[in-house]
Chain A
Amino acid sequence: MNSFLLRPLPASIDATVALLGEAHYLADRALGTVLYLALKMGRPLFLEGEAGVGKTEIAKVLSVTLGRRLIRLQCYEGLDVAAAVYEWNYAAQMIAIRVAEAEGEHDRARLERDVFSERFLIRRPLLQALEPDPAGAPVLLIDEIDRTDEAFEAFLLEVLGDFQVTIPEMGTVKAAQPPIVVITSNRTREVHDALKRRCLYHWVGYPNAERELSIVRTKVPGIGKKLSEQVVAFVQGLRKRDLFKSPGVSETLDWAGALSELDVVALDPATVSDTLGVLLKYQDGIARLEGSKVKELLDEVKSELRAAE
């Protein structure tokens, strides 16, 4: 998949959808539109949705298909400027001060200029993303922004609004070519409107049966026709149930992969019960499907598929 070379941004919505399709990411029209606009208008793309619906994957696919570098900033509680933007190389600075002292250098202004120069700057992801890159502006993935706190969000405003960072000791670093920014959130916290205002927003939902089926068939190549249909119909049926956490696309793929590895040709209640842990990650969800429930749902799925034939 790394054979893609740098190429220009897609010229239409259709081209955007096709571009993602090349790397086996099957996007719907809504996602294609918002992504095309984000690329064209140079706006950050804010993706929100349940875990496992392929938000992070979009950034990865973009970097691969467009032949750009992917810079990833994984957010966590307590993430600060030193870890996200830049840090000074203190040890080297100390030595520089000592050396200057030994040489009898006492011009304070000059010493300060020397010590706080680019030589001693350690670049972290956000600053890296603003630097010119011969391979074109990189793709900057700010992953799970809801995990960090409001203080960091406020800092991102400058970066996302003007694509620049202010370093007090040095001045402002501005990107000659703005990076392609993708922000993802699981919505465990409401991100402030001021940040969202600067972005194009898209809610990544669960795919419909038809699209999920093609996703399964593209991503799990060895899977049989019958099994893939049943798997997708079963998962779609599960999402209609009142579960604490519905299975995402990544769970569907894991499950399809697992069943395929087990050489299952068609679903039966015993196999489903045995492998349910791949699909559902909460104990009460699994408990709810114990006993006859699996068989019930499976029968429903099978009769539906038969009717569709």
Chain B
Amino acid sequence: MSEPLTAHADGRLAENILYFARALRAGGIPVGPGAVLDALEAVKTAGVGTREDFYWTLHAVFVKRHEHSILFDQAFRIFFRRRGYIDQMLAMMLPPAPGAPRAPEAGATRIHEALFSGLDDKLKQEREIELDTRLTVSDREVLQRKDFAQMTNAEIATAKEAMKRLVLPFADVRTRRLRPHPHGRLIDMRRTLRSSMKGGGDFIDLRFVGPKSKPPPVVALLDISGSMSQYSRVFLHFLHALTEKRKRVSTFLFGTRLTNVTRALRERDPDDALAACSASVPDWSGGTRIASSLHAFNKLWARRVLTQGAIVLLITDGLERDADDTLAFEIDRLHRSCRRLIWLNPLLRFDGFEARARGIKTMLPHVDDFRPIHNLESITALVAAFQGGDLSAGDPKAWMQKVA
């Protein structure tokens, strides 16, 4: 596109579109410079006739996801009513906290602050000082068994480091694709012919293909209600590490409502990722409504993320106040729409744990795996179990029999 589009009579329009694109970007719609050029071309092609046509023309170019339609609609209305309103709009559409200027080294401390906003500050400081002097490398052993809920800031930081190194190796699923394989059972005609041609075609050198497998998608549903508050942030770190290492990991947070934080967790820096997460979640440490959250997930997301043999990690203590038929129905549907449903429950840390709470009793029959997740050791055990394929320890039937 060598011709300068902005130079002529439509310069004002071009400028307007440029500003509008910038506003959209600030509002969270990923709009690249290429899209601006496209928009100019599209407007020229369609000709700015009615307001409606103009709207849909820009919509066709700038919106690439259904959920962005609402943002676009708001931005369009405000922007093209009066130009001067752009600043106001930017202020309205910007997510509040994380965009604020900050010192580069503040990332860690910021999260630390956010991490314990619910705790007594004084207590926190005292403990921190006490522990900073005590914690050395040799403490790693102790840390392995320590419950996340009882950890101090410094310990959690170490735990996060350890978690980063964990690889969650779910058994690969076989795809319908084939790949070159020395002991495959099918002949790869294409490679066979090409390699035969190298020798002038005198003899046919057979090449084979075998099945190709790849790791299944992982979908994590993390409870962030009050009863889970000490755990949820640590688990988020775990999920961040997971997102970084694997393809196709989706993360949802739920308390009283469900939020998709997959994109936020893709931020490279864990502190940034967590800040982005908390900015998008309105219900940290509130109540739990597992049934309605699962309902929302089943209805809005299950068909979008549970394809190609996905594994679901449901991380919750299962303490649902109003456990009724809906909960049973929703967990059953969730179970039916994924390949494997794994329930990770920090409550299992207590040796005398019994599945007595109603919510737990309702959900237990519908999960494939029921495992503790409260300290580093249990996470490591989880990893080991999936690596070795020994899944007997997590059999939910054992827990159900205990109660009966």
Chain A residues near B (Cβ < 8 Å): 12-13, 29-30, 33-34, 36-38, 40-41, 46, 48, 77-78, 80, 82, 88, 90, 93-94, 97, 100-101, 106, 108, 111-112, 115, 146, 149-151, 169, 186-190, 193, 196-197, 200-203, 242, 244, 284
B177 and A78 form a contact (CB under 8 A):
yes
Measured CB to CB, the nearest residue on chain B to A150 is B247
Apart from A13-B49, A29-B56: 18 A-B pairs, beta carbons within 8 A: A13-B46, A29-B53, A33-B57, A41-B42, A78-B175, A82-B190, A90-B190, A90-B193, A101-B201, A108-B200, A115-B197, A149-B308, A190-B304, A200-B61, A201-B60, A203-B66, A203-B69, A244-B298
Partner of B46, one of A30, A37, A202: A37
Task: Choose one: B193, B204, B305; the contact of A88 (CB below 8 Å).
Answer: B193
B46 touches A77 (CB 8 A): no
| A196 CA to B68 CA, complexed, in Å | 13
Across-interface contacts of A37 in B (CB, < 8 A): 42, 45-46, 57, 60-61
CA distance A196 to B53 in the complex (A): 22
Q: CB distance A244 to B64 under 8 Å?
A: no
Chain B 283-308, CB-CB to A under 8 Å as 1, else 0, gives 00000000000000011000111011
Within 8 A of A (CB), among B160-211: 175-178, 189-190, 193-194, 196-198, 200-202, 204
A34-B60 contact, Cβ under 8 Å, with A78-B177, A90-B189: yes
User: Do A196 and B60 touch (CB < 8 A)?
Assistant: no
Q: Is the CB of B189 within 8 A of A88?
A: yes
User: Considering only CB atoms, which chain B residue lies closest to A244 in the complex?
Assistant: B299
Output the nearest chain A residue to B201 by Cβ-Cβ distance.
A97
Q: In the bound complex, what is the Cα–Cα distance between A193 and B68 (angstroms)?
A: 13
**A97 to B64 alpha-carbon distance, docked (Å):** 50
Quick one: given A106-B200, A200-B61, A244-B298, are A48 and B66 in contact (CB under 8 Å)?
A: yes
Kindly state the separation between the CA atoms of A186 and B304 in the bound complex, as whole angstroms. Answer: 9
B32 contacts A by Cβ under 8 Å: yes
Contact A197 B45 (CB under 8 A): no
* A30 and B59 contacting across the interface, CB-CB below 8 Å: yes
Partner of B304, one of A12, A187, A196: A187
For residues 297 through 331 of chain B, which have their beta carbon under 8 Å from a beta carbon of chain A? 298-299, 303-305, 307-308, 329
Task: Kindly list chain B residues whose C-beta atoms are within 8 Å of the C-beta of A46.
Answer: 64
With contact pairs A78-B176, A93-B193 given, residues A13 and B53 touching in the complex (Cβ less than 8 Å): yes
8 contacts between A and B (CB under 8 A): A40-B45, A82-B190, A149-B308, A187-B304, A188-B303, A190-B305, A197-B32, A197-B64
Contacts of A197 in B (CB 8 A): 32, 34-35, 64
CB 8 Å contact bits of B38-73 with A (1 = contact, 0 = none): 100110011101001100110111011110010000
Distance to closest chain B CB from A98 (angstroms): 8
Known: A37-B42, A37-B46. A200 touches B189 (CB 8 A): no
Any chain A CB within 8 A of the CB of B28?
no
CB-based contact B308/A189 at 8 Å: yes
Q: In angstroms, how far is the closest chain A Cβ from the Cβ of B73?
A: 12
Minimal beta-carbon separation of A43 from chain B (angstroms): 8
A30 to B54 Cα, complex, angstroms: 10
Q: Are A193 and B64 also in contact (CB < 8 A) when A33-B56, A33-B57, A41-B41 are?
A: yes
Residues of A within 8 A of B52 (CB): 29
Leading 6 A-B pairs by shortest Cβ distance: A78-B176, A33-B56, A34-B60, A97-B201, A90-B189, A196-B64
Please determine whether B201 and A201 come into contact, CB atoms closer than 8 angstroms. no
Most A CB atoms within 10 A — which of B47, B60, B299? B60
Shortest distance between the CB of A48 and any CB in chain B (Å): 6
Q: Report B-chain residues with C-beta under 8 Å of the C-beta of A200.
A: 60-61
**Which of these, B56, B194, B298, B304, contacts A34 with CB under 8 Å?**
B56
- Chain B residues with Cβ below 8 Å from A90 are 189-190, 193
Residues in chain B near residue A190, CB distance under 8 A: 304-305
Minimum distance in angstroms from B16 CB to a CB of chain A: 19
What is the minimal beta-carbon distance from A78 to any residue of chain B, in angstroms?
A: 3
A270 to B63, CA, bound (A): 44
